[in-house]
Structure formats: C-alpha cells, structure tokens
Amino acid sequence: MKILSIDTSSNLCSVALLEDNQTIEELVIDDNKTHSQNLMPLIQNLFIKSNIGLPEIDLIACNKGPRFFYWN
C-alpha cells in the first residue's frame, strides 16, 4: 500500500511517500507560515523525485494540527 503523508502541524511543512512500512521519499520545508504556498509544490516535487503519481496512491494521511491548516 502506498501512502501520501502530509504534516503541517508545526513550523515544518513535510510530505512523505511510504510503501507499507518503508519511506520512499520525504521532503521538508522549514519556512514558518508559508505552508499554504509550499504544500502543493512540495507534493508535486515529491511525486517527481519518487517517480510515483497520484493514481498509484492508495491512502492520503494528514494530521489535524494546531497550526495553519486546522479544521473541525
């Protein structure tokens, strides 16, 4: 199972691709308060670096953090 993981709960904005229990690729930006600008390009770069596309993703996981992308 391939998983796209998204974390925006801190000053770091990070995305990762995992297959089962192994990390395929991970990208992190430490640029406080720019998550809304960096998240989509970061995901695109992750797909390019890993040579994996969205149709191959089985699950998208994200945290419900206290920071920039919080929802109820």
pLDDT tens, residue by residue, 7-62 = 888 888 899 999 998 999 999 998 776 777 888 999 999 999 999 999 999 999 99
Structural domains of the chain, count: 1
Is 72 a domain residue?
no
**Where do the H-state alpha helices sit in the chain?**
35-50
Is 70 a domain residue?
no
pLDDT of residue 59: 96
**CATH number, domain containing residue 21:** 3.30.420.40
pLDDT of residue 45: 96
Residue 64 has pLDDT above 50, yes or no: yes
Q: What is the pTM of this model?
A: 0.82
| Host domain of residue 12 | 2-62
Report residue 3 as tokens.
């998983």
> Contact at 8 Å (CB) between 70 and 15?
no
